[in-house]
């Protein structure tokens, strides 16, 4: 019998308890012995199926030698950070879906886990139930990773899908997402690109082996997106998606950012709809590989946590080095990255051509929408200074 | 310095040597020491960059204590099987992309590897460079896997894509694939579904934990596919794809087969084109997850082999149990599986309705194309006995 503890009993924590119970047979077959949730840390006791397991005292878990793995599902950084450190210090493996904690303190917590000879795993922090981090760090380990881009937030992808399909405005589509439970009452972290930003930082950390400081990563969401641009892009053979991107730059540097992009419709990621997520990883040997599925939800996310629990227990004594250094050296602002840029301006084609030379016109009627030749973000900003810019986005090419 | 040997110097073997050389830095960063190809087994010596490493005597590898991992890229079963056994007996880890060997002898070779306390890994045998097997067995370990289906053969997918896009017949599209180097001079294993069949067997072995006997798995290819059905399907909102499928059946049994299917165009797998592969895995907690990329090719396949080499070296002493039993019990013929069936008959709608009751007509002009309600393969065969059947395929629903 292997015993574990869960910190927090929200959506993911409850899901972990459910997966351990419902898939007991599959789990036991692989581990060779049964897995059981022994203790659940909560702030307030409440009735329900896990009442007997509850404690409000973390020391009960910390000092319990029978508990080998702690699943942290509290979220946020403060209590989660403190408990994670203490659990690792107590010689327990820790598993989490907490993207904010991993993005901000992952490197340090991995270092601590290494010293204490335990694992700290967080597959569920990116892509929910979609396997991404293990495939990236293990199966693609013989590649130099050159780029990762992805639809990392289901809420915004649902909103964009509704805007395309029904012609709803951003705010109407957001209300619909809230009514369906796909968006929080306060949707800021989703719609402003912060959630996707934390995830692209974690992907970049693992892909490039160096810390990506979330505070340095520009994050732009979709709250400023106009339905008009969605339609113009659509007619021109593009879909607008909110992408997190992490790119290895020619000079050896690297960058990461979150922003809406125009994506050519023959790119498989252009057709990822509703709340689905997808992550494209480009390795120098493998080429582009895509991982697709539900990026959130109780059972998918919980099942990724439980798989990590099993991985901790099977990888003795600890999961091997993933090579994530604390150095932030080499980070460059994404403004240096070249893309074709989409502009919609109040002005004529002549105005566009005066600023950018040759452009591809997508729409003209008082306003002009067009695509530039590939240019850096700096040049896009500089050359458009004299224009009356209504919208500007990168294309993924 | 970690030293390895390669058996065979064809496409994949050469690729392994290239990946080890080209991505030396990435590999060393993760392993903590350099990786080097010490010896290459060939049948005939020939000039080239690896001339100094060549031997035609397997004992040179078997008896070399410096060689810790052997990468088998010979293909086929005879020599590959014998050398794999001997390498494992000699206490070396073995890595392969050889789907035929794994499908036929994987369970036994894993058992032997377990006894000798080494790893036998074969990520590259399914999906080339696309991570599929590790994500399935590790990241989705907390799921009960209910179904896997996939486009597992790039050659046939290229042919189908050309038929749809250019209206080429099967034989013209095959010739084009051969001219481009996507199909062998003898294309039998690809176009008759045998290659896809070996891969779905391996996926089923790992998903269900029991041996799937390739000889028991019905494999139907695309050589009998008519352009007319491709077009009718297309107009009705479906794409025809060659799928390998492995399904957990309601009574606890399981089945697997390869056959062309009609796939609704809003299923992401319907839009997987050209030589790309994709594998969809449905877990009871995670839901559907898709893995997409280039399923073949020198560098993608080789990089998956090298990642497995690294995994062998990092997972000490050996990669953990994946729970694949030799028992073939519980296998059922896929005829029991229910699907909507596509038929094209020489006859009228009245003939179709007489045989199947209510049907959905897709095309009528002397011949009638239609979809039945969901029924088993047995019932589809039985009820169509009186009809003049020109084409019959399952739909994926």
Distance CA B134, CA B121 (A): 10
Domain boundaries, chain B: 2-129+299-314, 133-294, 337-395
Is residue A99 predicted with pLDDT exceeding 80? yes
- ipTM for this model: 0.93
Using DSSP's 3-state secondary structure scheme, residue A336 falls into helix
* Probe site for chain B from A127, A131, A263 (most B CB atoms < 10 A): A131
Q: Are B212 and B201 in contact (CB under 8 A)?
A: yes
Tell me: cis bond preceding A97? Omega within 30 of 0 counts.
Answer: no
Bridge-based pairing of strands B67-72 and B2-7 is parallel
A62 to each of A34, A240, B212, how far by Cα in Å?
22, 47, 45
Q: Report the first-to-last Cα separation within chain A, whole angstroms.
A: 52
Residue range B57-63: mean pLDDT, rounded: 98
Taking contacts as CB-CB distances below 8 angstroms, the residues of chain B near A27 are 141-142
Residues of B in contact with A303 (CB under 8 A): 140, 142-143, 283, 285-286
Q: Are B182 and B285 in contact (CB under 8 A)?
A: no
For residue A313, what is the enclosing H or E element?
helix A298-314
Give me the residues paired with residue B121 across strands.
B95
Element (H, E) at A96: strand A93-96
pLDDT, tens digit (0-9, with 9 covering 90-100), for A135-163 = 999 999 999 999 999 999 999 999 999 99
Smallest Cβ–Cβ distance between A27 and the set B142, B271, B287 belongs to: B142
* B50 in Cβ contact with B40 (< 8 Å): yes
Average pLDDT, chain B: 95
| pLDDT tens string A166-215 | 999 999 999 999 999 999 899 999 999 999 999 999 999 999 999 999 99
**Strand B67-72, strand B93-96: pairing:** parallel
User: Quick check: B362 pLDDT over 80?
Assistant: yes
Mutation to test the A interface, candidates B71, B141, B239, most A Cβ within 10 Å = B141
How many CB atoms lie under 10 A from the CB of residue A69? 26
What per-residue confidence (pLDDT) applies to B252? 86
Q: How many CB atoms lie within 10 A of CB B64?
A: 16
Short-list A164, A154, A161, CA closest to A184: A154
Taking the mean position of all CA atoms in its chain, how far away is CA A17? 24
How far apart CA A260 and CA B14 sit, in angstroms, is 41
Preceding amide of A162 cis, omega within 30: no
Contacts of A44 (CB under 8 A, 6+ apart): A56
SS (H, E, C) B184-214: CCCCHHHHCCHHHHHHHHHHHHHHHCECCCH
Q: Is A263 helix (H, G, I), strand (E, B) or coil?
A: strand
Given the candidates 1.10.10.10, 3.30.70.660, 3.90.550.10, 3.30.360.10, the CATH classification of the domain at B133-294 is 3.30.360.10
- Cα B99 to chain center, whole Å? 8
Per-residue pLDDT at A296: 87
Cβ-defined contact of B271 to A272 (cutoff 8 Å): no
Mean pLDDT across A297-310: 96
At residue A269, does pLDDT exceed 90? yes
| Range 137-166 of B in CB contact (< 8 A) with A | 138-144
Q: Over 80: is that where the pLDDT of B317 sits? A: no
Query: Residue A188 contacts by C-beta under 8 Å, 6 or more apart in sequence?
Result: A194
One DSSP character per residue, B327-362 reads: --TTB--GGGSEE-EEEEEES-HHHHHHHHSS-EEE
Q: Which of B355, B115, B315, B365 is nearest to B392 (CA)?
A: B355
pLDDT tens, A355-394? 999 999 999 988 999 999 999 999 999 999 999 999 999 9
Domain B337-395, CATH number (from 3.40.1350, 3.30.70, 1.20.1050, 3.40.50): 3.30.70
- Per the residue annotation, which of B92, B99, B199, B241 is the catalytic one? B199
d(CA A162, CA A152): 17
Interface residue A209 vs chain B (CB under 8 A) = yes
pLDDT tens by residue, B23-43:
999 999 989 999 999 999 999
Decide if A247 touches B, using CB distance below 8 A: no
Averaged pLDDT, B62-81: 97
Residues from chain B contacting residue A283 (CB–CB below 8 Å): 129, 303
Q: Which residue in the set B129, B271, B286 is minimally distant from A300, CB to CB?
A: B286
Is the model's pLDDT at B320 over the cut of 70?
no
- pLDDT, residue A279, reads 98
Element (H, E) at A305: helix A298-314
- CATH of B2-129+299-314, picked from 3.40.50.720, 3.90.1170.50, 2.40.50.1070, 3.30.565.40, is 3.40.50.720
Using a CB-CB cut-off of 8 Å, the residues of chain B touching A165 are: none
What six digits make up the tokens of A35?
Answer: 């897995």
A258: DSSP letter: E
Cα B357–Cα B361–Cα B364 angle in degrees, nearest 5: 120
Spatial CB neighbours of B342, under 8 Å, sequence gap ≥ 6? B229, B233, B238, B262, B362, B369, B370, B371, B391, B392, B393, B394, B395
Parallel, antiparallel, or unpaired: how do β-strands A287-294 and B287-294 relate?
Answer: antiparallel
Residue A273, CB half-sphere, CA atoms under 13 Å: how many? Answer: 10
Structure tokens at B325: 């039993």
For chain A, say whether B22 makes contact (Cβ under 8 Å): yes
The pLDDT of residue A163 is: 95
The residue to which tokens 């299917």 are assigned: B261
Q: Would you give the DSSP letter of residue A52?
A: G
Looking at domain A2-128+298-314, its CATH superfamily turns out to be NAD(P)-binding Rossmann-like Domain (3.40.50.720)
């Amino acid at each position: 019998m292997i015993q574990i503890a869960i910190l927090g009993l929200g959506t993911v924590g409850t899901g972990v308890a459910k997966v351990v119970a419902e898939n007991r047979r599959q789990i036991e077959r692989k581990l060779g012995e049964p897995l059981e949730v022994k203790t659940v840390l909560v702030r307030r006791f409440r009735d329900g199926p896990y009442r007997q397991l509850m404690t409000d005292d973390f020391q009960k878990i910390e000092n319990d030698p029978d508990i080998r793995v702690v699943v942290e599902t509290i979220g946020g950084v403060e209590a989660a950070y403190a408990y994670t450190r203490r659990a690792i210090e107590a010689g327990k493996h820790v598993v989490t879906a907490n993207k904010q904690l991993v993005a901000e303190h992952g490197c340090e917590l991995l270092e601590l886990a290494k010293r204490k000879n335990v694992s700290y795993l967080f597959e569920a922090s990116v892509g929910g139930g979609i396997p991404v981090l293990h495939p990236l760090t293990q199966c693609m380990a013989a590649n130099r990773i050159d780029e990762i881009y992805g639809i990392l937030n289901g809420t915004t992808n649902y909103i964009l899908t509704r805007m395309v399909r029904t012609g709803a405005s951003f705010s109407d589509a957001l209300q619909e997402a809230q009514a369906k439970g796909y968006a929080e009452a306060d949707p800021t972290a989703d719609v402003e690109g912060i959630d996707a930003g934390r995830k692209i930082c974690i992907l970049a950390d693992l892909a490039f082996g160096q810390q990506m400081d979330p505070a340095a990563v520009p994050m732009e969401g979709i709250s400023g997106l106009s339905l008009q641009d969605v339609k113009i892009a659509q007619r021109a053979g593009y879909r607008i998606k909110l992408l997190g991107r992490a790119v290895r730059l020619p000079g050896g540097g690297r960058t990461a950012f979150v922003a809406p992009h125009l994506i050519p419709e023959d790119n498989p990621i252009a057709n990822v709809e509703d709340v689905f997520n997808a992550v494209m990883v480009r390795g120098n040997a493998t080429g582009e590989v895509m991982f697709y599925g539900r990026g959130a939800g109780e059972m998918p996310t919980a099942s990724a946590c439980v798989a990590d629990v099993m991985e901790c227990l099977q990888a003795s004594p600890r999961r091997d080095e993933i090579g994530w250094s604390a150095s932030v050296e080499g980070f460059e602002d994404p403004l240096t990255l070249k893309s074709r840029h989409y502009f919609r301006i109040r002005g004529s084609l002549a105005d566009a051509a005066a600023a950018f030379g040759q452009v591809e016109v997508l729409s003209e009627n008082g306003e002009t929408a067009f695509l530039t030749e590939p240019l850096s973000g700096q040049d896009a900003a500089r050359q458009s200074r004299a224009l009356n810019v209504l919208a500007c986005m990168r294309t993924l090419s």
